[in-house]
Each structure stands twice: as structure tokens, then as C-alpha cells.
């Protein structure tokens, strides 16, 4: 989120941070950006608290509109790991929310029609897009990549696939391990680094990986520098997500100079068209050894993808121009 805020500040916007629904001021705002619609669920104590928060939000939006324009930044169309009640209430929530905003913003030209199709209440409302801003590089130079490999006992001639970040079931990390286990390339390595959603899920992944010394699991929280160094250790970052609308982790990997491999979706397809298929390798259907081989063969040897369109200030100016059109 800080990247978006930085881009908006660079575009001469004054930013006011609003943590809860009750903190939304009833006057004085030109635009209210709903950054994470499902945050309302994260903080709720129980189902009655969820309902109360939904009603409070909708009433507050009715109070501030039309003087304040309300824009929903649509990160995803449904919670990644919904509970039973959240599953039941979510469709009602987003339909009601869509009727009480002025516009929506997605993170890719490819996802605009997806959002319009899924949210019928947006049929006659503006829906624009802006790329997820690129990340600043914290660790520069090939010596950092070499150091990251040496620390793990790997050599420069090894080809390293990796997954770095939050390790949750919907992200398909277990699928990645299963496919890698079927590969027979002795020079391949696989790095899984990040915090798992539960110790039980860690055990599942460890049971799968223990038979193959080419696989290294590093569970736990990482600092920003540790996260970037883990990415630098890899040649290709694999994001075998089972279902998603957008992903900042793909942009982050390319910002560090690493190719990504991910399923073909409206978001990833648009990303590949913008940056190049040597940076965004796509596959259809389940992940396979062939997809890993094709990514290796098609990888761009450069450490610098052309992410000029993802510059935070440029993105901020694009978003502000959209706000001014409302």
C-alpha cells in the first residue's frame, strides 16, 4: 500500500490514513479509496460484528456521497481463504458496496472486464485500471545473488526455481513441490521461503520435500531485505496460484530482476503483453515439468525488466487523472 500512497503523494495528493470504518470523516475528503474491502472481515470479532461493520460502512458511504467520491480499489473478487459465514455474506457485501461507490479501479487492463462481469452494479459506473507500482530495489548487484546462493550451498551453475512470500494453501506451493519432485534435472534447485499459514501446513510441505535434497524449505518471517535476497537467489519465481485476480508478488519479483512463471489469467496475460513473455512465462492447466523447462529456456538473461509503466509516480498521476474525471 505504501507504494500507492507514495505515488499519490508524488502526484501532489494529501493522504489521510483511515484505519476503521468509524474513522471515516463525514466531510473534508475529495476521494475516499477503499483499499482492501475485505479488511472489514479481518478485524471483526464474530458474525454479528461483521454485519454491524457492513451496515456502518454503507451508512457512512451514503453520508459522504456525492460530495466525496468513493473509489473501490478491487484487489480480489472474493476472500482467498473464506470461512463459512464469510462465504455466505460476501456476495451480499460486495453487491451492496458496489451500489454505494462512484467508481472502481483495478490493477491491470485485463481485469477490468472481469470486474465488470462479476459486479453487475458497476455496469454503469466508471472502472479504470493502473498497474501495481514497481518496488524499489534494496539489494543491487550480482554479488548479492551469488551470496544468497553460497549461503545455501548452491552454485552459479544451478538453476533455481523459487517461491517467496506468504505460504498458504491457495497459493499452490504444494503443487510446485509435487511437480518439482517429478523432475530429473540434477542442476535444478527449488527454494520455498516464507511464513506458512500453520504448523500443520509446514508439516505437509516438509513431508513432501524431505525425499529430495534439491529442495530447500525456509519457514518464517522475513525482513524486506531477506525477502529480496531470497528472490535474488532464484532464476525464476514460480507463482502457481490456484485462483487470483491480481498479484503484487509478480511485480515485486520483476522489480528485483527475476522472471516469473504463473498460470495464464487476465492479469498475468496483460502483464506478459506489457513486460514481455521472457519475463512473464505463462502456462495453461496444471503446473508441469514442461512448464518449468520452458520457463528456463525462455528466460531473459538481463536483470532489468522494462517497468517504466509501473513507476510509482507515473501510476499515481494516472490514478489522480482518473479521480479528476469523476
Q: What is the CATH number of the domain that holds 234?
A: 3.40.50.2000
Q: What confidence category does residue 41 fall into, taking pLDDT thresholds of 50, 70 and 90?
A: confident
Same domain flag for 162 and 296: yes
35 vs 205, residue with greater confidence: 205
Same domain flag for 297 and 174: yes
Per DSSP, what are the bridge partners of residue 183? none
Taking CA atoms, 288 is separated from 133, 161, 179, 240, 321, in Å, by 30, 13, 6, 10, 42
Same domain flag for 45 and 125: yes
114 vs 42, residue with greater confidence: 114
Taking the C-alpha atoms of residue 151 and residue 226, their distance in angstroms, rounded to an integer, is 12
Close Cβ partners of 293 (under 8 Å, ≥ 6 residues apart) = 185
Same domain flag for 127 and 152: no
Taking the C-alpha atoms of residue 216 and residue 189, their distance in angstroms, rounded to an integer, is 8
Which domain covers residue 74, as residue numbers? 2-133+311-325
Number of domains into which the chain is organized: 2
pLDDT at 201: 95
Taking the C-alpha atoms of residue 194 and residue 222, their distance in angstroms, rounded to an integer, is 7
Same domain flag for 29 and 160: no
What is the average pLDDT across 107-126?
A: 92
Taking CA atoms, 259 is separated from 113, 255, 304, in Å, by 27, 10, 10
Q: What confidence category does residue 4 fall into, taking pLDDT thresholds of 50, 70 and 90?
A: confident
Q: What confidence category does residue 246 fall into, taking pLDDT thresholds of 50, 70 and 90?
A: very high
Q: Which of 29-33, 46-50, 168-172, 177-181 has the lowest mean pLDDT?
A: 46-50
Same domain flag for 60 and 129: yes
Q: What is the CATH classification number for the domain harbouring 75?
A: 3.40.50
Same domain flag for 256 and 318: no
Alpha-helical (H) ranges within the chain are 2-10, 39-42, 47-64, 84-99, 112-118, 142-150, 173-182, 199-209, 224-233, 248-255, 266-275, 289-298, 312-325
Q: What confidence category does residue 254 fall into, taking pLDDT thresholds of 50, 70 and 90?
A: very high
Taking CA atoms, 79 is separated from 10, 115, 193, 314, in Å, by 31, 15, 23, 29
Same domain flag for 81 and 207: no
Same domain flag for 104 and 234: no
Same domain flag for 115 and 153: no
Taking the C-alpha atoms of residue 131 and residue 277, their distance in angstroms, rounded to an integer, is 17
| Secondary structure (H, E, C), 9-67 | HHCCCCCCCCCCHHHCCCCCCCEEEECCCCHHHHCCCCHHHHHHHHHHHHHHHHHHCCC
Residue-wise pLDDT tens digits, 15-31 = 998 888 888 998 899 99
Taking CA atoms, 315 is separated from 64, 244, 251, in Å, by 26, 22, 13
Residue-wise pLDDT tens digits, 72-114 = 999 988 777 666 667 788 888 888 999 999 999 999 999 999 9
Helix (H) or strand (E) holding 188: strand 188-194
Taking the C-alpha atoms of residue 326 and residue 206, their distance in angstroms, rounded to an integer, is 51
pLDDT at 7: 87
Same domain flag for 41 and 170: no
Highest mean pLDDT among 50-59, 127-136, 141-150: 127-136
Angle between helix 84-99 and 47-64 (nearest 10): 10
What is the average pLDDT across 140-169?
A: 89
Same domain flag for 163 and 119: no
Amino acid at each position: 500500500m505504501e507504494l500507492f500512497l507514495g505515488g499519490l503523494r508524488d502526484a501532489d495528493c494529501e493522504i489521510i490514513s483511515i484505519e476503521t470504518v468509524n474513522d471515516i470523516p463525514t466531510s473534508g475528503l475529495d476521494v475516499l479509496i477503499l483499499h482492501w474491502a475485505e479488511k472489514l472481515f479481518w478485524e471483526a470479532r464474530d458474525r454479528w460484528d461483521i454485519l454491524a461493520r457492513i451496515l456502518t460502512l454503507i451508512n457512512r458511504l451514503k453520508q459522504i456521497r456525492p460530495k466525496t467520491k468513493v473509489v473501490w480499489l478491487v484487489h480480489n473478487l472474493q476472500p482467498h481463504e473464506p470461512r463459512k459465514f464469510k462465504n455466505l455474506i460476501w456476495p451480499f457485501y460486495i453487491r451492496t458496496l458496489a451500489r454505494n461507490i462512484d467508481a472502481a479501479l483495478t490493477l491491470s487492463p485485463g481485469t477490468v472486464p472481469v470486474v465488470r462481469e462479476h459486479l453487475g452494479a458497476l455496469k454503469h459506473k466508471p472502472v479504470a485500471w493502473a498497474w501495481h507500482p514497481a518496488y524499489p530495489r534494496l539489494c543491487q548487484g550480482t554479488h548479492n545473488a551469488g551470496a544468497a546462493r553460497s549461503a545455501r550451498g548452491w552454485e552459479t551453475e544451478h538453476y533455481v526455481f523459487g517461491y517467496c512470500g506468504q505460504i498458504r494453501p491457495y497459493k499452490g506451493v504444494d503443487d510446485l513441490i509435487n511437480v518439482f519432485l517429478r523432475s530429473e534435472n540434477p542442476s535444478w534447485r527449488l527454494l520455498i521461503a516464507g511464513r506458512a499459514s500453520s504448523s500443520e501446513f509446514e508439516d505437509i510441505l516438509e513431508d513432501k520435500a524431505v525425499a529430495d535434497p534439491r529442495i530447500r524449505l525456509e519457514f518464517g518471517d522475513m525482513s524486506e531485505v531477506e525477502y529480496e535476497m531470497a528472490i535474488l537467489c532464484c532464476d525464476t519465481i514460480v507463482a502457481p496460484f490456484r485462483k487470483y485476480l491480481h498479484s503484487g508478488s509478480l511485480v515485486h519479483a520483476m522489480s528485483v530482476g527475476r522472471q516469473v512463471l504463473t498460470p495464464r489469467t487476465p492479469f498475468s496475460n496483460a502483464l506478459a503483453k506489457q513486460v514481455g513473455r521472457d519475463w512473464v512465462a505463462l502456462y495453461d492447466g496444471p503446473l508441469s515439468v514442461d512448464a518449468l523447462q520452458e520457463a528456463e529456456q525462455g528466460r531473459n538473461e538481463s536483470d532489468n525488466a522494462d517497468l517504466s509503466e509501473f513507476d510509482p509516480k507515473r501510476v499515481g498521476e494516472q490514478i489522480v487523472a482518473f479521480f479528476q474525471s469523476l
